[in-house]
Amino acid sequence: MWFERIVAEGLSHNSYMIGSGGKAAVIDPRRDCGVYLILADRHDTVITHIFETHRNEDYVSGAPELAHRCNAPVYHGSRMDFAYGNGVREGDRFTLGTLELSVIETPGHTEESITLVLVDTEVSREPYMVFSGDTLFSGDIARTDFFGPERKAEMAEKMYENITRKILPLGDGAILCPAHGAGSSCGSEIADHPFSTIGYEKRTNPVLALGKEAFVARRTTESPYLPPYFRQMETVNREGPALLHSLPRTHPLSVAAVKSLVKSGSQIVDIRSPTAFAAGHIPGSFSIWRDGIASFAGWFLDYERPVVLVDDFSLDLQPVLRQSVRLGYDATAGWLAGGFPAWFRAAQPVGMTGT
């Protein structure tokens, strides 16, 4: 057996790869999915299964993209009518060499949420790993507010019952592999741990220490923030995102071209540091520094208008493009050649904060 955890920086998203006997499965893949193909080659294996533990709200699913590139089927919970893939139900099992993955239906975060239980039959029939998606995190549980205030109590009760009756009884030694780590907007107090175990969570997770009544009451009164782009992600991930085939290709834009794009309504995203932006920027542009794209682009950018990137020297834009496509911002018109200094040297209008 082999195992890999792949972290999407900024989103605090975890995806996983497991393999045995020349077959591999990917769980909750990100959209820029080349990493899974590289890992498959490294382990001399073929990706035969792709699983989604739930319809994601905070990033674009990579399942359709990966399925297209490796010709493997996608599986997700059957309680939602996805436009792609195959529905699975409680008790369904999948075999990869000596590994067996079984499905547990665990609604609460979403109606179709599932948990995958891994057994390595070469060693034991005891659960070895539990891929809990957005149900149980390290130190926290997932939010249950996506269906509106009128269903908060209902979804919280489902979450409690599924965790206590289906996941916790899997055994204290089972390794817990959640879909998110610390910093994710899908939980408020996720611990900064790469892994956990069922037993550790039973002893240390403060939410699990609550009885059912207190658990439901707490979830009913909570009002976590909801980034506006979540609704777009819900639709995209139900219908299936457009295929990328590769990261979008961008090209340099002259000052005149950027001026024209500004007039036509394009969104100007200044990825320099906030202090550099404050000292001078293209009027009307957004200040979202490189490492802030994953956290803040979804709050301010829309999906209809193209995006123009502005940097100092426009070096190494690939990480920015990766973060953008993970959030569904595919229409990057290009980047200002020469960066903001070119705009300044061309004697164009300059905005400054605090003036």
Q: How confident is the model at residue 51 (pLDDT cuts 50, 70, 90)?
A: very high
Residue with the larger pLDDT of the pair 316 and 125: 125
CATH 3.60.15.10 placement within the chain: 2-239
Helix/strand/coil (H/E/C) assignment for every residue in 319-348:
HHHHHHHHCCCCCEEEEECCHHHHHHHCCC
Q: In the sheet that 267-270 helps form, which strands lie side by side, from edge to edge?
A: 252-253, 332-336, 307-310, 267-270, 286-287
Both ends of the chain: CA-CA distance in Å?
61
pLDDT at position 43 is 97
Q: How confident is the model over 268-285, as pLDDT tens digits?
A: 999 999 999 999 999 999
Q: What is the DSSP string of 98-159?
A: TEEEEEEE--SSSTT-EEEEEEETTT-SS--EEEEETSB-SSSB----TT-GGGHHHHHHHH
The band of 185, judged by pLDDT with boundaries at 50, 70 and 90, is low
Pick the CATH number of 2-239 from 3.40.50.10490, 3.10.150.10, 3.60.15.10, 3.30.460.10: 3.60.15.10
Which architecture characterizes domain 252-345 according to CATH?
3-Layer(aba) Sandwich (3.40)
pLDDT per residue as tens digits for the range 230-260: 889 999 999 999 998 877 778 899 999 999 9
Q: Is it the case that residue 186 has pLDDT exceeding 90?
A: no
Tell me how far apart the alpha carbons of residues 12 and 317 are, in angstroms, rounded to a whole number: 20
> Looking at the chain, which residues constitute the CATH 3.40.250.10 domain(s)?
252-345
pTM over cut 0.85: yes
pLDDT in tens, 54-106: 998 889 999 999 999 999 999 999 999 999 999 999 999 999 999 999 999 99
Assess whether pLDDT exceeds 70 at residue 182.
no
